[in-house]
Amino acid sequence: MDYIPGGYVMLARKIRGSPLWKSLKATHRLVLIELLLQAQFQDNEVVRNGEILFLKRGQVATSYQQLVNDIGDKDVTVKVVRNAVGKLVKHNFLTKDEAKSRAKKGLLLTIVNYEVYQDPQNYVAKEVIKETGSVRAKQGQSKGKAGAINNKEKKVINENIPYSEIIHFLNEAGNKNFRSTGKHTRSLIKERWNEGFRLEDFKHVTKVKAEEWLGGQYESYLRPATLFGNKFEGYLNQQLIHKSKRPGNLEALREEAMKADEESGSD
């Protein structure tokens, strides 16, 4: 398996010796890890309580009850989550936007120093070789493999990404007119592509959400910022189980998908 979809988070080993970690109960640590897993790794729009929120990198829009549901452990209650968030704020691991939290009837949390601890380069020691003036990266574990990993990343990034086909498929599915040249649109697609998702994944997400949202109150959310953001993998795991309110449109979408499947070999 070359790539693991969904991305990753990093947890510095030094946290084990920190006053924060030592003060947390086991259930509190589950909350900390859950928040790290849910935090936006890039600025993105999300839908919450029927409203679109713009979240910055390192932010989480949730609620105490939602965190309880997401963790799914009988020992993690609303009281436990509330206490955990309180401790994380006290130790400056989190900040909590009280005003926006009340307005949205939830929690808007920001992980402090997210940029520092989620930057892979901060875990790599660099040694300057005076004789040649070059810089050699030395990594504590998996010694000798960093170069190979970087080569894989370059291979993915340099691979042709079918921006036009992905956006054309979305435009046909939702009767939209998005441009495949938009900077933000391309950035979202590239992020997902570099996580290992491919053309068929984008098509499936588009089909699922078009079937669910067309003709309803969420139709306006059928756009790149919503579809190709951090909830992409969740959408990808949805199944086409509802009968469309627009059978003709859905049938045309399926025909387009079959046609695109036949032509995708050239991408």
The string of pLDDT tens digits covering residues 234-257 is 888 887 655 444 443 445 434 544
Residue 139 has a pLDDT of 46
Percent of the chain residues topping a pLDDT of 70: 72
Mean pLDDT in residue range 31-39: 95
Closest CA to 77 of 38, 32, 29, 27: 27
43 Cβ neighbours under 8 A, 6+ residues apart = 54, 55, 56, 57
The architecture of the domain spanning 13-117 is Orthogonal Bundle (1.10)
Residue 7 has a pLDDT of 80
C-alpha to C-alpha distances, 181 to 99, 154, 164, 202, 260, nearest whole angstrom = 37, 22, 8, 17, 20
pLDDT exceeds 80 at position 128: no
CA dihedral in degrees (58, 64, 65, 66; nearest 10)? Answer: 0
pTM of the model: 0.50
240 or 165: which leads in pLDDT = 165
One-letter identity of residue 239: Q
* Per-domain boundaries in the chain: 13-117, 124-152, 159-266
Give Cα 97 to chain centroid, integer Å. Answer: 21
Residue 36 has a pLDDT of 95
C-alpha to C-alpha distances, 116 to 93, 166, 224, nearest whole angstrom = 12, 33, 28
Residue 99 has a pLDDT of 56
Pairing of strands 59-62, 94-96: unpaired
Q: What is the DSSP letter of 244?
A: P
- For residue 267, name the pLDDT band (cuts at 50, 70, 90): very low
